Homo-oligomer: A and B are copies of this chain.
Amino acid sequence: MHKKLFIPGPTEVMEDVLNVQAKPMIGHRSKEFSELLTSVVEKLKRVLATKNEVYIFTSSGTGVMEAAIRNCVKNKVLSLVCGAFSKRWAQIAKACNKEVATVEVDWGKAIKPEMVADALKKDHYDAVTLVHNETSTGVRNPIEGIAEVIKEYPDTFLLVDTVSSLMGDKIEIDKLGIDVCLASVQKCFALPPGMAVGVISERALKRSEEVTDKGYYFDFLVFKKYWEERRQTPTTPAISLIQALDYQLDRIEQEGVENRYQRHREMAEIVRGWAKKFFAMFSEEGYHSVTVSAITNTRGISVADLNKELGKQGYMISNGYGKLKEKTFRIAHMGDLTKEDINDLLGRINAILKLEG
């Protein structure tokens, strides 16, 4: 039996979207493919409201994090760490032989603009890395304020992992001056995993010209060349996923992006209301994610057992991430899920845990 996914990625994929993957194969050096990719890129620029370049990477989001580091950081980077995935930014930068400084807060807390301001006063950094929506803790970092601070340092780039928020939470990429904004497609895009989207600023492409040891696979300039000369990707892309993305972008435009963001906010409100009634939110007040809620297990339930019972009914939520396992649990409300889906799920949890609804 299929378990409907309320986990923070891969999220539930609609049947018609799944089926688009099964279209017959086409060559990636054909006119047909160039037209497909052009269609996808134009739609992406429209729904993301960006004038920056949009490239499709055959990798997970982590791959584009490494790409951002390799293309935009000459020497030193400041990593803002508030959970597992923001920690990964620092880990990747170190693995690429970059000097890394961090601003760290406890898991569950958000990075505040003034912390970034303090750090930037003390040293020069080629870039700052941020996770907009920390999937491990359900924290939405105040990107607007952080971006304002970074703008005071014109030579310091802003690299943002929006893996679990892009297309579910409104992010004004161009206005905020994000140099690399990246997301996997298996979260708020509600597609099967295997591909990532990178939105790259003009100055990030310029910086890439000045950096050595970028490697080849993630070199932005190679993507730029193939896009400009052929409307194609440098290497063979995940064609079935690109076909599904093209289809899904039509669905997103039919819903309307503002409606999509509103639906995510409403789903989040329902889960937060429920969590505050029966448990407590793990994320700091004022900084709750609109795509995934991390809930403190104040009742000391067995999250594993709850998920087992839900599984028998065809539903799946997430345990806490890493060290937060059993201490928290996570309910994702992202992608194509609806308020009805969320109410259905919470009703089932209430019944299993015998909570008075």
Contact = CB atoms under 8 A, between A and B. Distances in A.
Given A215-B66, A217-B66, A239-B192, A10 B22 contact: no
A15 to B, nearest CB: 8
Contact of A62 (B22, B25, B70, B216): B216
A283 to B, nearest CB: 21
A91 B62 CA distance: 24
Given A58-B60, A236-B60, A27 B215 contact: no
A241 to B, nearest CB: 6
Interface stretch (A92-100, A269-277, A342-350): A92-100
A236 B10 contact: yes
B24 A21 contact: no
Given A18-B24, A22-B19, A193-B236, A217 B62 contact: yes
A214 interface: yes
A228 interface: no
A215 B23 contact: no
Given A10-B25, A60-B235, A217-B62, A97 B5 contact: no
A238 interface: yes
B91 A216 contact: yes
Contacts of A66: 215-217
Contacts of A50: none
A179 to B, nearest CB: 19
Given A193-B236, A193-B239, A216 B92 contact: yes
16 contacts: A3-B26, A9-B236, A11-B25, A15-B22, A15-B24, A18-B240, A21-B192, A21-B240, A60-B236, A62-B217, A65-B217, A70-B215, A96-B216, A97-B212, A184-B236, A193-B239
